[in-house]
Amino acid sequence: MRYDARQVNETAMTDHTPKYLALHVAYCAQTGLDLPFTMERLLAWEQWCSCGWDEGDLCLVIKHLRHKLRREPKQRLLGALRFRWLVEAHEDFAETLAEARALNRGYKLAPNREEVLRATGRETRPKSDTALSAGEILAGNERFRKFCELKGKL
């Protein structure tokens, strides 16, 4: 992250500035964009936080958008990770956050294999006597070959 001529000076610092700076650093790290932390962005982060959102919400939305970028045509979503769209456009962010939370709720992983098998109506443990050794398979192949020879002679 870099600073420019409009960077935040000491007189503009508030008690929450470190929080906004941490959000900005997280945004830059998650998106891969190197944007300066300016006074304009500090105010944008202040307004964004006043909506009740936090770093977890920001990371969830960015992760959701990155997933969409991999699945959908890039032309439509090129600007999706822009600062103005994510942080300054509160209603767009709220809609995307609601969508990401809804999709995130749908994924429930079972903790172990047996539980998944039971839930899908399958046996939890395969029958041990169904597996054949390599020797048994080769012997069966040999018996089948002899059967085919015998059948050919008839």
Give the chain's length.
154
Tokens read off for 24: 């900005």
Q: Please, where are the H alpha helices in 8-133?
A: 17-31, 39-50, 55-71, 74-77, 83, 90-106, 113-119
Mean pLDDT in residue range 138-142? 92
The whole-angstrom separation of Cα 68 and Cα 61 is 10
| pTM score of the predicted model | 0.59
Task: Please answer whether residues 61 and 93 qualify as being in contact, where contact means their C-beta atoms are separated by less than 8 angstroms.
Answer: yes
Q: What is the pLDDT of residues 93-132, one digit of tens each?
A: 899 899 989 888 765 665 677 777 777 777 766 666 677 8
Confidence tier at 74 by pLDDT (50, 70, 90): low
| Predicted local distance difference test score (pLDDT) of residue 3 | 45
Using only C-alpha atoms, the chain has a radius of gyration, in whole angstroms, of 30
The answer to whether residues 39 and 13 touch, using CB atoms and an 8 Å cutoff, is: no
- Residues 4-49 have pLDDT tens digits of 444 554 545 567 788 889 999 999 998 888 889 988 998 999 999 9
CA 140 – CA 154 distance, rounded (Å): 21
